[in-house]
Amino acid sequence: MTRKIEIVEVGPRDGLQNDPAMMSTDTKIEFVERLIAAGVRRMEAASFVHPKLVPAMADSDDVMQRVPRQDGVKYIGLALNERGMRRALEAGCDEVNYVMVASPGFGLKNQNATPDETADLFDRIAILAHDEGVPVSVTVSVAFGDPFDGEVDPAVVAQLAGRARAAGAVEFAMGDTIGVADPWKVRKTLDLVRAQSGDMRLRMHFHNTRNTAMANIYAAVEAGVDVIDASVGGIGGCPFAPAATGNVATEDVVYMLERGGFDTGLDLGKLIETAKWLETDGLKHPVDSALSRAGAFPAPAR
């Protein structure tokens, strides 16, 4: 039987939050509709952080009101504190994602919190989602390396996985926020995390900043991970590496996995069309994916 790999599309949230194009709400809805047409059934669509910090996500309530509710599509909203969690729940998100940090350097700069403090806060606000019956997931940022502190100890990530599970997270995502992971460290981290994760699902979030995202995904899939984050066109960079590639591109991941015999449920041609639409209409600037440049294979060459 064909193994299914779920790709969580993060383009409409992680992909857009730092993009200089400041996509309009109307265009975001069109983006979401294009993604659904390409087969996406789970996506990050909104972020309930302070609009002064992330102006591109200021319309998240409005976006959540207008996204199509069909075909079993699930929308994930991001929340980093109690106020965000309440807003995400009120906005009707199907799932709320919370971010822990794996290292204090990045944590203090980005969320003004140490790893333990981000786990403590999750204990308190996860309850709000539980009360509403809404699933919560956790992403741990800088899980493989911190731009200020350097290497991250996989044992810390595993400890956070234990905390996330204890607080009732349904899923735990390891985020390579600055794109430094290698597949050997991915495996080592997964080995340690599994000892703490029980039946909590595992998910991987890789940036291709140093061209290792696809190798990391391959390593994770071989290690049994069934859920992978990606963004169409690879949109969404890291402010700490402005010249570099950000999220791994959905179409690249789909190409590799489908060729490897996995079922992603996504339509490669429509993903490539969506990447091209981002360039011409959605964002009006180039995006970075290999498949949108090279095209699929086998392709008619004669």
Residues within window 1-30 making contact with a second copy, judged by CB under 8 A: none
User: Residue 233 and residue 287: Cα distance in Å, rounded?
Assistant: 5
Handedness of CA 12, 239, 289, 154 (dihedral sign): negative
Residues within window 183-212 making contact with a second copy, judged by CB under 8 A: 183-185, 208-212
Q: Tokens representing 65?
A: 């009101």
User: Residue 125 and residue 138: Cα distance in Å, rounded?
Assistant: 12
Q: Does 271 bind a second copy (CB under 8 A)?
A: no
Binding a second copy by CB under 8 A: which of 259, 284, 285, 286?
259
Q: Does 180 bind a second copy (CB under 8 A)?
A: yes
* Active-site choice (238, 248, 283, 291): 238
Binding a second copy by CB under 8 A: which of 66, 104, 218, 223?
218
Q: Active-site residue 238, yes or no?
A: yes
Smallest Cα–Cα separation from 131: which of 164, 78, 160, 168?
168
Q: Which residues of 119-130 are buried (b: 16+ CB within 10 A; e: fewer)?
A: bebbeebbebbe
User: Residue 91 and residue 266: Cα distance in Å, rounded?
Assistant: 27
Q: Does 214 bind a second copy (CB under 8 A)?
A: yes
| Contact (Cβ atoms closer than 8 angstroms) between residue 100 and residue 164 | yes
Binding a second copy by CB under 8 A: which of 116, 117, 182, 273?
182
Q: Nearest distance from residue 88's CB to a second copy, in Å?
A: 31
Q: Nearest distance from residue 186's CB to a second copy, in Å?
A: 10
Q: Does 291 bind a second copy (CB under 8 A)?
A: yes
Residues 6+ apart with CB under 8 A from 42: 6, 8, 9, 73, 74, 76, 95
Q: Does 231 bind a second copy (CB under 8 A)?
A: no
Q: Does 93 bind a second copy (CB under 8 A)?
A: no
Q: Nearest distance from residue 242's CB to a second copy, in Å?
A: 10
Give ∠ CA 106-156-250 in degrees, rounded to 5: 65
Chain residues that interact with a second copy, rule: CB under 8 A:
145, 147-148, 150-151, 178-180, 182-185, 208-212, 214-215, 217-219, 240-241, 243-245, 248-249, 252, 255-256, 259-261, 289-291, 293-295, 297-299, 301-302
Q: Which residues are catalytic?
A: 238
